[in-house]
Structure 1
Amino acid sequence: MPSPARGGRLDHVADPALFTPRTPRIVAARRLHRRRDRDNAGRFLAEGPQAVREALARAGTVLELFGTPAALGRHGELAAAAHAEGVPVSPVTDEALAALAETVAPQGVVALCRQLDVPLAQALAARPHLVAVLAGIRDPGNAGTVLRTADAAGAGAVIFAGETVDPYNGKCVRSSAGSLFHTDVVRAGDPHAVLAALRGAGLTVFAATGYGETDLDDIADAGGLAVPTAWLFGSEAHGLPDDLTAAADARVRVPLHGQAESLNLAAAAAVCLYSSARGLRSIAREKKVQS
């Protein structure tokens, strides 16, 4: 069997026998495609080299690395990183990998990970200046993309509030492109309790809605985004619930300068989060100049 990292031997493999779809560890891991089983086990699967790489970079996250011999050969650095962390590397048949993966053309590696939930109080104790709150978003691709965007904009936490998709859903994990492992992920029950906690932590809460009375450009020009901010985002189909929208400090719309009817959720979230990031940077620069 070829080595992923050293000439001629698969030095980082825990068991030289290939796991098959019937191997108990594969059977158990495959159950994690269901949310109930993920929550009961406190585990989830991260598929593909990018997700696995980011998961391994967060110490203590990966519990086992599964891969076909060919994929482990192509991505020897992943096997080496797993070995350095004391993580078992288990070679599997193509059929076993297909059973673990959810994509049509899997890339050969899947990591078994522990869930990364951070309590809301702990996330806010870190005094984040930018937070994204996903409320009622059911589409995992949208949720993962917003999580990725929030990470790129420098958000300190992403909160999945109320009846929102599971952040450990396979499509959400893939859409986050590794950002799931970079920022605090919070799952919270009552969105109104989340709003109260955000305000208690000193954040101004803005609801992103196409029908908002406040224009994003206007609030940015007035310096209203140069403060610690939490953005509320709702589902693309239905938006935010009326009671939650009303509970925000302001309802903000992204201006549309052309003839498009609206922006999709991911695009609107990117505009809002980066506007806040720019406002916060401007304050940081001013403080630096004054000092």
Structure 2
Amino acid sequence: MHIQPVRFERSPQLHPMMTEEPYGIGTRVVVQGKRGPEVATVRGEAEPMPSTGRFGMILSVATTSDLSRWEELGREAEDLKWLLRARARARGLPVKIVAAEYTLDASLLTVSYSAEERIELSALIQDVRAHTRARINFAAVGPREQAMMIGALGACGRENCSSNHLQEFAPVSIRMARDQQLPLNPEKLSGPCGRLLCCLQFEHTQYLELLQDIPRKNAKVCVDSSGACGKVVKLHPLQGTVDIYTDAGLMTEIPASDLRPMKGEGKPEGGKDSRA
């Protein structure tokens, strides 16, 4: 028995599945997961079965009939999604229907929705029951999950990370933006989901390492080569330099290695909570 990762259509996350025989990367397969049988795509090489863990199962290669049925169910689910959106508007419900998905045997319909407050869904459940015999599961999703499922373009012009490759949503804080010396503009720091950009975390560790050798902002320093002294007003971690406003009223960019603390100020390098 082996373990092989597969990817479902609405998420970049890889899900390990048991399989008796390895499948080629890119193969469309039928898998038995938590919700039931679904079509997925193999996205990695097979590995030995671990001694612990609970996994779904790759049942078989998806046949032409399976793929045709999967596409047909996808169209039916899409129609139900728009039906529910119309009914929600008509009823004045503050809810967004994000997606609707059938399992391959059409026994379960999962409706993903987002809402800022708790709402009563019984009326919508009755609406959709008139059009399907499947069991119906309404699943609440957050803003990041919503952006992942719908897809969007990020500020970089490429598909947003949550839809493309992210395997989990790691915590992102405004401190990461401060450490990277980014302007604290909510419009520029927010992704399509309206939350802080996931990519702020990608290089944060490297910025923390670079900042260890740079004076903190507002530190009083002197330049070894010229003897001029002043206050640090801006940091350039990637260049290893800082802008200082000298006592003579000049603004100049100086390498951090050419700086020393002004007498009585202590070591120029600041702690992790002194970067503003």
TM-score by length of 1: 0.20
TM-score by length of 2: 0.21
Larger radius of gyration: 2
Give the structure with the larger helix fraction: 1
Give the structure with the larger strand fraction: 2
